[in-house]
Amino acid sequence: MNRDNSVLIVEDELITANSISGLLEEEGFFVVGVVDDSSEAFLFFDGDKEFPKTVLCDINIKGELNGIELAKQLKSKYGCEIIFLTAYADNKTLYDAFGAEPVMYIVKPFTDKQLLSALHMATYRIMKALDDDNGKIEIILTKREREIIELVMQGFTSRQIAAQLFISPQTVKTHRRSMLQRNNMHSFSQLVYQLHK
Amino acid sequence: MPVLKQAELVIAGRSDLFLLEHRIFNLSSFIITLFSLQGMIINYAIGLNIVTVWLAFIGFLFSSLVFYISRIKSWFSPAIVFAYTIATILVLGGMHFYNGGSYGPIIYLFIMLLNIYMLITHRAHQIAIYILMSATVLTLLLLEYYMPDMVTHYNSRTERLLDHITSIMYSMFFTTVIIRIFKNTYDKDRALIIQQNNELEEAYVATTQKSEYIESLIMEIHHRVKNNLQVISSLMLLQSQKVEDDSARDALEEGRNRVGAIALVHQMLYMDNELAKVNIQEYLNALSGTIAKSYGYSENNLQAEVLTNDYIMDINIAIPLGLIVNELVYNSFKHAFANIAHPVVRVILDKKNEDTIVLTVSDNGIGINNSDTGMNPASFGMKLVSILVKQLRGVMSIRQKEGTIISVEFKKIIDES
């Protein structure tokens, strides 16, 4: 299966990494792995396996390369989209990080919303880069489903959406599943991409 | 040659008591005094015109007077240099005609004196001295051309050569002494400047390295603080992902929001490069914006205004203030707005008087009495608010008027007593 929404998390604070991993999986992203070392990150780009498409990268990591160098290599060799996630906010680090052309540079501590909207942006770019078909697929959605899509794109979690629409988180998930099935989409990102193409 | 050095010191004076120019002037007037005395004796002995002996005597008197004023009385000014210049012009000018005119050595003495005056006069007066002396020389030569009778010639070749030997040897010796002193001083000064420059350079490098090191330490600590706050927030998220009970999940979520309110202060501290201060306007905007958005409201539903002129606030006030705003705005969004068409929350920071600040958080919601648990004084959120108000040594009041208005008054500087 083609995973446009696959994410590799490179973060040396494993509690942070695992909480992000849980959040992303709950929001429908496919987390291929969590590593805290630059050399371990390259293991995911070996052999016949599908490469992760987005790399969520801390700057201060273990191993030979720092996060910025790692991100530059992954971007140029494998075309990954980069999101930096770091507590550094000084100008020098920022300028260095620009070299990797990241989708977003998020300063810790971050909110779920900042993280999710950055990931939606990255996946949108990936879908656009892979898309060689100009044909538009017609998407059928209810009014409620459109509301939910808007909120998801803004970076809200299913739970936050549920609270805002006064429905249960379970119902939000049901809506999300059913719109994918009806339109024959394999991921939420694909649905959003086709909708806005 | 320690004897010469000693002599120079006695005649010119110590370099820590006299300026270089002053010392040269002392030395010049002394040497010229000696020269006049010697000239007077030799002219007499050779048998030159008696007027030359008298002129040398006048030169001797005047030079010794100047030496006395300059060396003993330590008085040195452009006026003295000018007076001395004029005197030498008059004496030497007279001598020119009695010492064989342009066949004699007086013109050489003018050139030597010009060199010395150039060295000791201020830049502003150099041109004047130059004009004065070259005009004198020109006048002497023209007078000699038009009135050849004024010149008293030497009686013999020997007489002329004797006069040349004494005057020119004297000039060469005199020039060498003066220029050596100058060069010596110049070399010493330059070595000193280079040494001081090197020391400054080294001190500068050391200071820069030290300040870079301190800056990197501070950055590292900020980085650590933010990272640790992230870990705390992540711990709560991780746990909430595993918890089934809704109220427990809510409690963890609220906890994360509070950590977020504190974290935001730390983010703003570093971005503004101020160590323990925060721009309260930016902070309140960012904080209330974050809360509004996390409840799905837009910035239109929220007004944060700071009406005081003091935007910069100490972190000790900013953090409790931020936590109070966090609770109150959160309460409004969570509890006050069921069935309200255009919900608005206003956060206003104003000053009551010079040292008292008032925070007002108001909404157009359903009011305390009608809301569920939010504004209940027994709720954890409101308990937290009252604790923080106490920490600020403040006073809180709650009013109902088309919604809820909560004000907190506190002093700009917290009284520790």
Shortest Cα distance, chain B CAs vs residue A92, angstroms: 12
Q: Name every chain A residue with its beta carbon within 8 A of the beta carbon of B226.
A: 87, 107-109
Shortest Cα distance, chain B CAs vs residue A154, angstroms: 9
Q: How does strand A81-86 pair with strand A54-57? A: parallel
Say if residue A95 is in the same domain as residue A188: no
Q: Flag whether A148 is in a domain.
A: yes
Q: Flag whether A116 is in a domain.
A: yes
Residue with tokens 């963890």: B252
User: What are the DSSP E strand ranges found in B245-292?
Assistant: 277-279
Q: Which residue from A minimizes the CA distance to B215? A: A90
Say if residue A107 is in the same domain as residue A51: yes
Residue with tokens 């339109």: A183
User: Residue A60's pLDDT is what?
Assistant: 86
User: Residue B372's pLDDT is what?
Assistant: 52
User: Residue B417's pLDDT is what?
Assistant: 46
Element of type H or E holding A55: strand A54-57
Cβ count near A162 (within 10 Å) = 19
Shortest Cα distance, chain B CAs vs residue A48, angstroms: 33
User: Residue B196's pLDDT is what?
Assistant: 95
Residues B124 and B111: their CA atoms lie apart, in Å, by 20
The three-state secondary structure class of A137 is: coil
User: Residue A156's pLDDT is what?
Assistant: 87
Distances (CA, A) of A30 to A52, A55, A79, B94, B410: 9, 12, 18, 111, 50
Rounded-to-10 torsion of CA A18, A22, A27, A30: 70
Sign of the alpha-carbon dihedral angle for A19, A22, A24, A29: positive
Pick B237's closest partner by Cβ from A13, A19, A108: A19
Say if residue A45 is in the same domain as residue A75: yes
Token pair in block for residue B112:
């030597």
Say if residue A115 is in the same domain as residue A180: no
We report the CATH number of the domain holding residue A40 as: 3.40.50.2300
Residue with tokens 């007499």: B44
Say if residue A70 is in the same domain as residue A109: yes
Please, which residues 233-262 of chain B have a Cβ atom closer than 8 Å to chain A?
233-235, 237-238, 241, 249, 259-260
Residues B4 and B271: their CA atoms lie apart, in Å, by 69
Q: Do B267 and A89 touch (CB under 8 A)?
A: yes
Give the residue from A74, A95, A130 where a domain finishes.
A130
Residues B113 and B102: their CA atoms lie apart, in Å, by 17
Range of the domain at A25: 6-130
Helix (H), strand (E), coil (C) string for A102-132: CCEEEECCCCHHHHHHHHHHHHHHHHHHHCC
Q: Do A22 and B241 touch (CB under 8 A)?
A: yes
Q: Name every chain A residue with its beta carbon within 8 A of the beta carbon of B237.
A: 19, 22-23, 112
Q: Name every chain B residue with its beta carbon within 8 A of the beta carbon of A108.
A: 226-227, 229-230
Domains annotated on chain B, with CATH = 2-202 (no CATH), 276-411 (3.30.565.10)
We report the CATH number of the domain holding residue A160 as: 1.10.10.10
Give chain A's residues under pLDDT 50: 1
Residues B252 and B237: their CA atoms lie apart, in Å, by 7
User: Residue A1's pLDDT is what?
Assistant: 43
Q: Do B234 and A90 touch (CB under 8 A)?
A: no
What's the gap between Cα B349 and its chain centre? Answer: 39
Say if residue A34 is in the same domain as residue A107: yes
Say if residue A91 is in the same domain as residue A168: no
For A67-93, write each residue's pLDDT tens digit: 999 999 999 988 899 999 998 888 888
Say if residue A113 is in the same domain as residue A165: no
Say if residue A28 is in the same domain as residue A91: yes
User: Residue B134's pLDDT is what?
Assistant: 95
CA angle A80, A86, A90 (to 5 degrees): 115
Q: Which residue from A minimizes the CA distance to B225? A: A87
For B236-275, write each residue's pLDDT tens digit: 988 988 888 888 888 898 898 899 899 888 888 755 555 6
Q: Do B238 and A13 touch (CB under 8 A)?
A: no
Residues B214 and B275: their CA atoms lie apart, in Å, by 12
Q: Flag whether A186 is in a domain.
A: yes
Q: Flag whether A138 is in a domain.
A: no
Distances (CA, A) of A3 to A37, A81, A185, B143: 23, 14, 12, 111
B267 CB within 8 Å of a chain A CB: yes
Distances (CA, A) of B314 to B274, B329, B359: 10, 22, 16
Q: Flag whether A157 is in a domain.
A: yes
- Residue B212 one-letter amino acid: E
Shortest Cα distance, chain A CAs vs residue B294, angstroms: 7
Residues B307 and B172: their CA atoms lie apart, in Å, by 83
Pick A13's closest partner by Cβ from B227, B241, B270: B227
Q: Name every chain B residue with its beta carbon within 8 A of the beta carbon of A159.
A: 249
Q: How does strand B312-314 pair with strand B277-279? A: antiparallel
User: Residue B210's pLDDT is what?
Assistant: 93
Work out how many domains chain A is built from and give that number: 2
What's the gap between Cα B288 and its chain centre? Answer: 43
CA angle A64, A70, A71 (to 5 degrees): 165
User: Residue B203's pLDDT is what?
Assistant: 94
User: Residue B370's pLDDT is what?
Assistant: 55
Q: Flag whether A92 is in a domain.
A: yes
- How many A×B Cβ pairs under 8 Å? 72
> Shortest CA distance to B152 belongs to which of B57, B58, B36, B48?
B48
Give the residue from A130, A163, A185 where a domain finishes.
A130
Q: Flag whether A103 is in a domain.
A: yes
Say if residue A78 is in the same domain as residue A106: yes
Say if residue A38 is in the same domain as residue A110: yes
Q: Flag whether A1 is in a domain.
A: no
- Concatenated DSSP letters of B34-102: HHHHHHHHHHHHHT--HHHHHHHHHHHHHHHHHHIIIIIS----HHHHHHHHHHHHHHHHHHHHHTTGG
B289 CB within 8 Å of a chain A CB: no
Shortest Cα distance, chain A CAs vs residue B122, angstroms: 52
Q: Do A111 and B290 touch (CB under 8 A)?
A: yes
Cβ count near A132 (within 10 Å) = 5
Say if residue A15 is in the same domain as residue A110: yes
Blockwise average pLDDT, block size 10, chain B, 417 residues: 82 86 90 89 83 90 93 90 91 90 91 90 91 95 93 88 88 90 90 94 94 86 87 90 86 89 82 70 86 76 78 85 90 76 85 87 75 62 88 88 87 65
Pick B296's closest partner by Cβ from A90, A107, A164: A164
Contact residues for B304 (Cβ-Cβ < 8 A; gap 6+): B281, B284, B285, B288, B289, B346, B347, B348
